[in-house]
Amino acid sequence: MDWAMKEQSYSQRRACRLVGIDPRVYRYRSRRPDDSALRRRLRELASERRRFRILCVIDDFSRECLTTVVDNSISGVRVGRELDRIAELRGYPRLVVSDNGTELTSNAMLKWQQDRGVAWHYIAPGKPMQNGFVESFNGRLRDECLNEHLFSSYAQARQIINTWRIDYNTQRPHTSLDGLTPIEFAARSQGDQTRTELTYE
């Protein structure tokens, strides 16, 4: 718009027509108060206390969050170790569904799958809707926990996030589970729990 009016001497109306917008849109000036100082401070805090990685393992059968692993980075070896720890209590799943993160497509993770005989399905890149339940879980975790706290240490983050996870598993009825919480549904249904979903937040 500005280029067309300045360099080509187009009228404002003609320049707007050229790019397909109403002149009122071009003339609009925001009435929001200036929040540049707040934005600057948020950027400063973000650089002081960097965001971290969370590995969430979800049982697709019971909707239970089996673990939330919090660290600055999580390797394929670490993912395998966490899955082995869960399997000691629950057995190995027949299928794991995950995105295509480098940790999950690493040689260490491929070897883990082969050694344990666990089938693995990677969703299509850029298609989070193929993991719809996990995306919903991540949204709740983000809105109800991560966005509500300013974590000062990994230890604090682990404690708060794990407390939220326990509440999610024990206090949140799901309509898809006949109004039961994940823990109640898992206890009532001791059948095969054959699919586990893995995601990073």
pLDDT tens for 137-191 read: 999 999 999 999 988 889 999 999 999 999 999 999 988 888 999 999 988 876 5
Q: Which residues pair with 200 in a beta bridge?
A: 55
Range from 1-5, 61-65, 90-94, 108-112 that averages highest in pLDDT: 108-112
Q: Cα 90 vs. chain centroid, distance in angstroms?
A: 24
Contact predicate 22/16, CB 8 Å: yes
Give the list of residues 6+ apart from residue 33 with CB closer than 8 angstroms, or none.
none
Decide if pLDDT at 192 tops 70.
no
Tens digit of each residue's pLDDT (9 = 90 or more) over 9-30: 888 888 888 888 888 888 878 7
Q: Is the pLDDT of residue 198 over 80?
A: no
User: Would you give the distance in Å from CA 182 to the centre of its chain?
Assistant: 19
pLDDT at 136 over 90: no
Rounded distance between C-alpha atoms, residue 141 and residue 157, angstroms? 12
